[in-house]
């Protein structure tokens, strides 16, 4: 080749590249699925296919072999087969930056090529949806079908076919062919998206579940797409019966009356038949009727009848329990109403059940501890008081027994025959000297007791209070105390003096010696001093109880 020809080739090469790009119309701007830098003689595996590359000596045209296809792609352009679009965007070589390869034996340079590959076949997807998941008899549903082709190439000769179940009847649709329960949509070609709808009516009560199929042609080959399945179950008409139950008090006390109310309302425009309405009260309850059409027999109220449009019926009862516990009151009803959509009287699934929970609270004496001080020093004089109260404003409590125990004093127990309503008395008082100890210590004072209600239910009660005694700085630890006792064992008077100062628990004052004031130490030992004054009301009920026992 002459120098003149070589010069012409150099100047014509860019023009030839531009002409080839224009003629082939291969340049694209679509985002690629494969986008990498690879050697100019590499083999690319992508989409289950092999793409063999071979760059020319001038690094401006790459030959791409894929199956039976051979493409010559100038730099900065693209070419396509029926399935893929391949682009040669750029070339680079710089051995210092690890761009490309160099063979020192042949002194051949192989550049890196920027290659992108994209699948350009049609990509079709079908999405079906229904505006109702459940269908009543004679109810209408709208079905929407959307076909998307997100591929680069268009699909042709599209056939979309749906075969309806025998429970559905087509009443309208867009651009469709109805053929003995089969719906057909035909499209000559598609790129992008299309949507169509149709309406069906359910005329048989059964689950409607059906498939569809889309076929299309591309590059002489027919392909099939199976969309999602549509399922519509038989529905249940909305019951127009409003059913409510209320409690005036969900936590009444033993023997306290409360009110239970059930309200039935027909919210429909037609009459409604109520069958098998019943209220079941626990057998432990005493029942009184306030307002009700129902017949009450053995704690069960029953009724049936007709409710006119917008009519309300009330069932109101008073009840009380004579023992504590959790109880359930259950109300239920079946009804028949006319369904405009179904054009018939509806009786399916129309049972309504309402449950009310009642928790009966126990009424036990209220206990109140009081200390002269909650925290005292060792050896300090203090006192303990106990007050009993009947929180019930109407009923008395009987046979109230209580016992007070503590390491501070001997146990004390007593009994009250009757505690009238709102009884509130100081029943125990003890003055004492706090024990001495070498460290801080807490002492519990506990009350356990029981009582009987007027319904002969025995209830128990308990309460604990704590007195904190701070350490005595003059008290010795047990080890020092034992050592002093051994060293001074021969001196009786010294031993007695030392023992009096010992801080051990065994040396804490008894309940009826150091714990009592001087004025009370002449009284019998081990007998805490109860409060004899209990009030006029308490004495009255005690006298009344004694009179009743004497008579009977």
DSSP H stretches of helix in 412-491 = 478-487
pLDDT at residue 369 above 90?
Answer: no
Q: How far is CA 298 from the centre of its chain?
A: 40
Return the minimum-mean-pLDDT range out of 66-70, 146-150, 543-547. Answer: 543-547
Q: Residue 218 contacts by C-beta under 8 Å, 6 or more apart in sequence?
A: 121, 122, 153, 155, 156
Residue 301 in contact with residue 292, Cβ under 8 Å?
yes
Work out the average pLDDT over 123-133. 93
Evaluate whether 124-234 and 241-360 have a shared fold.
Answer: yes
CATH number for 241-360 (one of 2.40.110.10, 1.10.1040.10, 1.10.357.10, 2.60.40.10): it is: 2.60.40.10
- Residue predicted with more confidence, 23 or 145: 145
Which overall architecture, per CATH, does domain 124-234 show?
A: Sandwich (2.60)
Q: In this predicted model, what pLDDT tens digit does every residue of 136-191 receive, in sequence order?
A: 888 999 999 999 999 889 999 999 999 889 889 898 887 788 877 889 999 999 99
pLDDT on residue 536: 54
Q: In this predicted model, what pLDDT tens digit does every residue of 485-517 receive, in sequence order?
A: 444 444 443 333 333 333 333 334 333 333 343
Q: In this predicted model, what pLDDT tens digit does every residue of 256-285 receive, in sequence order?
A: 899 999 999 999 888 999 988 999 999 999
When pLDDT is cut at 50, 70 and 90, the band that residue 234 belongs to is confident
d(CA 475, CA 508): 12
Three-state DSSP at 544 gives helix
Work out the average pLDDT over 102-111. 92
In the chain, % of residues over pLDDT 90? 48
Q: How many CA atoms lie within 13 A of 541 on its CB side?
A: 18
CATH number of 366-488+503-541: 2.60.40.10
Residue 72 in contact with residue 21, Cβ under 8 Å?
no
Q: In this predicted model, what pLDDT tens digit does every residue of 307-359 receive, in sequence order?
A: 999 999 999 999 999 888 899 999 999 999 988 888 888 776 678 999 999 99
Work out the average pLDDT over 414-427. 90
When pLDDT is cut at 50, 70 and 90, the band that residue 552 belongs to is low
Domain ranges for the chain, please list them. 3-119, 124-234, 241-360, 366-488+503-541
Residue 439: count other Cβ atoms within 10 Å of its Cβ: 12
For helices 478-487 and 492-500, angle between their N-to-C axes, nearest 10 degrees: 170
d(CA 189, CA 186): 9
Mean pLDDT of the chain: 81
């Amino acid at each position: 080749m002459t120098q003149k020809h070589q010069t012409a080739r150099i100047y014509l090469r860019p023009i030839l590249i531009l002409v080839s790009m224009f003629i082939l119309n291969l340049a694209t701007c679509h985002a690629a699925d494969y986008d990498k830098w690879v050697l100019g003689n590499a083999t690319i595996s992508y989409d289950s296919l092999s793409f063999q590359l071979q760059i020319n000596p001038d690094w401006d045209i790459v030959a791409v072999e894929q199956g039976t296809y051979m493409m010559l792609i100038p730099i900065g352009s693209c070419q396509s087969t029926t399935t893929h679009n391949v682009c040669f965007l750029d070339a680079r070589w710089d051995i210092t930056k690890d761009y490309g390869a160099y063979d020192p034996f042949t002194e051949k340079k192989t550049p890196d090529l920027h290659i992108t590959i994209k699948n350009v076949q049609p990509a079709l997807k079908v999405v079906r949806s229904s505006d109702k998941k459940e269908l009543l008899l004679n109810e209408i549903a709208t079905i929407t079908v959307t076909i998307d082709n997100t591929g680069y190439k268009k699909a042709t000769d599209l056939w979309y076919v749906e075969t309806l179940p025998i429970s559905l009847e087509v009443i309208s649709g867009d651009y469709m062919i109805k053929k003995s329960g089969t719906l057909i949509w035909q499209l000559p070609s598609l790129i992008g998206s299309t949507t169509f709808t149709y309406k069906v009516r359910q005329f048989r009560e059964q689950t409607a579940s059906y498939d569809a199929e889309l076929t299309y042609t591309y590059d002489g080959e027919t392909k099939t797409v199976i969309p999602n399945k549509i399922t519509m179950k038989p529905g249940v008409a909305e019951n127009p019966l409003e059913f409510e139950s209320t409690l005036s008090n969900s936590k009444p006390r033993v023997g306290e009356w409360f009110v239970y109310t059930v309200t039935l309302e027909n919210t429909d425009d037609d009459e409604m038949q109520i069958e098998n309405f019943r209220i079941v009260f626990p057998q432990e309850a005493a029942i009184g009727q306030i307002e009700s059409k129902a017949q009450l027999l053995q704690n069960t109220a029953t009724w049936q009848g007709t409710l006119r449009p917008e009519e309300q019926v009330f069932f109101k009862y008073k009840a009380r329990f004579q023992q504590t516990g959790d109880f359930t009151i259950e109300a239920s009803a079946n009804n028949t109403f006319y369904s405009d959509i179904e054009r018939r009287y509806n009786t399916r699934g129309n049972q309504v059940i309402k449950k009310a929970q009642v928790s009966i609270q126990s009424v036990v004496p209220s206990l109140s501890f009081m200390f002269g001080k909650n925290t005292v020093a060792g050896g300090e004089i203090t006192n303990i008081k106990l007050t009993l109260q009947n929180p019930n404003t109407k009923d008395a409590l009987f046979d109230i027994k209580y016992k007070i125990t503590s390491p501070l004093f001997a146990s004390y127990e007593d009994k009250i025959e009757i505690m009238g309503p709102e009884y509130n008395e100081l029943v125990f008082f003890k003055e004492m000297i706090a024990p001495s100890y070498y460290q801080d210590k807490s002492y519990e004072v506990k009350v356990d007791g029981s009582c009987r209600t007027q319904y002969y239910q025995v209830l128990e009660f308990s309460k604990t209070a704590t007195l904190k005694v701070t350490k005595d700085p003059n008290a010795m630890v047990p080890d020092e105390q034992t050592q002093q006792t051994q060293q001074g064992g021969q001196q009786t008077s010294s031993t007695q003096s030392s023992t009096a100062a010992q801080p051990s628990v065994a040396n804490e004052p008894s309940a009826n010696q150091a714990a009592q004031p001087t004025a009370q130490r002449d009284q019998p030992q081990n007998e805490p001093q109860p409060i004899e004054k209990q009030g006029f009301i308490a004495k009255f009920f005690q006298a009344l109880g004694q009179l009743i026992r004497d008579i009977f």
